[in-house]
Amino acid sequence: MVARSSDGLRDLVGDLSDTGAEIATIAADASDPESLGARMTELYSGEGAPGVIIYNAVMGAPDQLLSASVAHLQAAYAVDVISAIVVAQVAAPVMKAAGFGTMIATGGGFADHPIPALATVSLGKAALRSAATMLAADLEPDGIRVATLTIAGRIVAGTAFDPVHIAERYWEVVQSDGPWQPEFRFTGE
């Protein structure tokens, strides 16, 4: 598991300890694609490299295109899109050698319905969908499945968009042995 801070990872590993899975943790920040790439290279150069990637990073600050600085726009694109591509660049050769792998990026309804007050999130989710579609086309012949899972609603515990329901949808997609597609959706149903 990879996250900006190892603090939250310890809690997640504790929650998953009863599964019997061996879980490694790495602290890496998607706002620094080069550093993230180096950390992922460490992970993928060892034994037991992950065969499944869920990329779920977004710089979700409210903003607008006409007032956002160039630095802000670049920072958002680094987190929302570039780092996802960097992770794929590192993982793909190892997955190709293994003959299989799954990469899922968390998409969002903002790609379908952009909101001016969440400009970089909207742009990021649209660009991430395009990147995943292109990666899927490039990697499918090597047995690697790439897609987005578009969350088409606001994530709120106790609703149809409860994180538990969304996690179940991720699991369904990862376990799917049916026809693959470049985008899966979670609509709360």
DSSP string, 35-99: HHHHHHHHHHTSTT--SEEEE-------B-TTT--HHHHHHHHIIIIIHHHHHHHHHHHHHHHHT
Domain span at residue 92 reads 51-186
Starting at the edge strand found earlier in the chain, the sheet holding 52-55 runs 52-55, 101-108, 144-151, 183-186
Residue 82 forms part of a structural domain: yes
Q: CA 148 to CA 125: how far, in whole Å?
A: 10
Q: CA 78 to CA 70: how far, in whole Å?
A: 12
pTM of the model: 0.93
The CATH code of the domain that includes 116 is 3.40.50.720
Q: How much of the chain, in percent, has pLDDT values that exceed 70?
A: 100
Residue 147: pLDDT band (50, 70, 90) is: very high
Mean pLDDT check: name the lowest of 14-18, 31-35, 84-88, 168-172: 14-18
At residue 108, does pLDDT exceed 80?
yes
Beta bridge partners of 103: 53, 146
Q: Domains in the chain: how many in total? A: 1
User: What is the arithmetic mean of pLDDT over 44-71?
Assistant: 93
Residue 178: pLDDT band (50, 70, 90) is: confident
Predicted pLDDT at 51: 93
Predicted pLDDT at 179: 85
User: What is the arithmetic mean of pLDDT over 145-161?
Assistant: 96
Q: CA 126 to CA 128: how far, in whole Å?
A: 5
Residue 60 forms part of a structural domain: yes
Residue 2 forms part of a structural domain: no
Residue 98 forms part of a structural domain: yes
Residue 155 forms part of a structural domain: yes
At residue 8, does pLDDT exceed 80?
no
103 and 155 in contact (C-beta within 8 Å)?
no
Predicted pLDDT at 25: 84
Q: Which two tokens stand for residue 140?
A: 């499918």
At residue 18, does pLDDT exceed 90?
no
105 and 84 in contact (C-beta within 8 Å)?
yes
At residue 63, does pLDDT exceed 80?
yes
Residue 147 forms part of a structural domain: yes
At residue 152, does pLDDT exceed 80?
yes
Q: Which two tokens stand for residue 123?
A: 């742009």
